A and B are shown apart, each in its own frame.
Chain A
């Protein structure tokens, strides 16, 4: 008879175990919360550990993991496993430093123990926008840091090889901290294209780094757009700067004709040649000028007005070119960064 009863109990245990294994982590969590409400802490602890142990696609979400760990911490506290409770609460803080037990659900001894765990834990999480565009002078990447408790931190951007690029912050953090990064290194030069890391080091009371969080950053830099240089003035806009050489006969003929006319003017008008002798001065000057014109017209002569107009045209174009050069120099000093932030990860958990 006893043997038969034992066999029945064993069969029931196997059936229960099989049933528990068939449950999803979410169902296990619900089972555990019911057991916790029924003060069946052993069953609750078993179900919670089973739910938290699940991995893969059916694993609990971060929110449910926090919920499960909160019940687990409370359960272990009531099972007089204080260290296990503290460990569960620390795991909560690693997931979400800002998480707190619901004071309407959990009694003060649970929230008090959680507070103790929080004050003893130095963890920072980083919230960075997945994509940040830095293309104007005032553009910044906005980083939010959330801490479990007040402590000292160092925040820096490191190159892919670990060499520091820029120290963003060194000091204390309480609940949260907003940091801005303009995409430049410590010499105010833009970060080049490549892989970088945003690293947050949490320091203990003795100053040693107790935990670090890294956010991978992928940066792509492109130079600022420059303006094209204005085209040189078309040849058609320039005036001829030199006269076209010719035989000069026309100048010579016209000059000599007028010189002759000046000398003969009294005769031509009045039929008498008794004009003032000064007319021969004019005639002589005209004759010499005719010869000068004859010689000069056989060679290309500079046309000062046209040369000045062409020079003014060239200078105006050169001024525009210089302006564009200066503008482009300013534009080249500007830059555009595209920053992709990856998922934060803890580097060396305590």
Chain B
């Protein structure tokens, strides 16, 4: 499924015309600071935790195709109650194609782990993402909205994963005569267990500073 999806995306990228003015290859990266909020809901109750996180992203662009990877790590503490605090580790690797300037399609694995003293909950997702990009001020200010679904989901907690989906909305500013860019975004994703017994959501207010093109 994933291999087929990747092949379709790659073929789509190669069949597309080159974007006018697009840089043929470059390397970019960013540093991220985020404020996280975790919610879980189950028939027997729920948890609410929040905390800061930090991470980094790297990207290699080859024409219309890019590979980008991101890692985020944070510490979540309970907002109320006696829920155990936990660490979060979140990593993604995506193959990205941009058939047109205002669309980016992504596919790749997404790993997430909640680490507690009593054990680690690991999610393994294969995601398909679509990002729409709008220019508010050409070359200076742009918005994006990204939505994704998990083509496959797995978790090491019974009864297992049934699916996941999420979205992100944000704004990117490229200051005049600066090699850096700044991005403010809000993300929300939800993972569901089988039989509807439990669901988890993780949302984040993300501030990124990057270089090499947003």
Chain A residues with CB under 8 Å of chain B are 243, 250-251, 254-255, 257-259, 261-262, 265-266, 268-270, 274-276, 278-279, 281-283, 285-286, 289-290, 292-293, 296-297, 301, 303-305
Contact = CB atoms under 8 A, between A and B. Distances in A.
B167 interface: yes
A250 B102 CA distance: 13
Contacts of A282: 169-171, 184-186, 205
Given A254-B136, A269-B188, A292-B136, A279 B145 contact: no
Given A251-B136, A269-B167, 19 more contacts: A250-B134, A254-B134, A255-B136, A258-B134, A258-B143, A258-B145, A258-B170, A261-B169, A262-B186, A275-B203, A278-B186, A282-B186, A285-B171, A285-B184, A290-B143, A292-B141, A293-B136, A297-B138, A301-B138
Contacts of A286: 143, 169-171
B37 interface: yes
B35 interface: yes
Interface of A is mostly: helix
A304 B167 contact: no
B77 interface: no
Contacts of B134: 250-251, 254-255, 258
Given A251-B135, A265-B188, A270-B190, A278 B143 contact: no
Nearest to A250: B134
B139 A305 contact: yes
Nearest to B144: A258
A256 B163 CA distance: 30
A282 to B, nearest CB: 4
Contacts of B55: none
Main secondary structure of the interface of B (DSSP, over half): strand
B165 interface: yes
A278 B144 CA distance: 17
B169 A266 contact: no
The listed residue with most A CB atoms (<10 A of its CB), out of B137, B141, B199, is B137
Contacts of A304: 139, 176-177
B173 to A, nearest CB: 8
B100 to A, nearest CB: 14
Contact of A303 (B138, B165, B205): B138
A152 to B, nearest CB: 77
Contacts of B169: 258-259, 261-262, 265, 282-283, 286
Contacts of A243: 138
Nearest to B35: A278
Contacts of A283: 169, 186
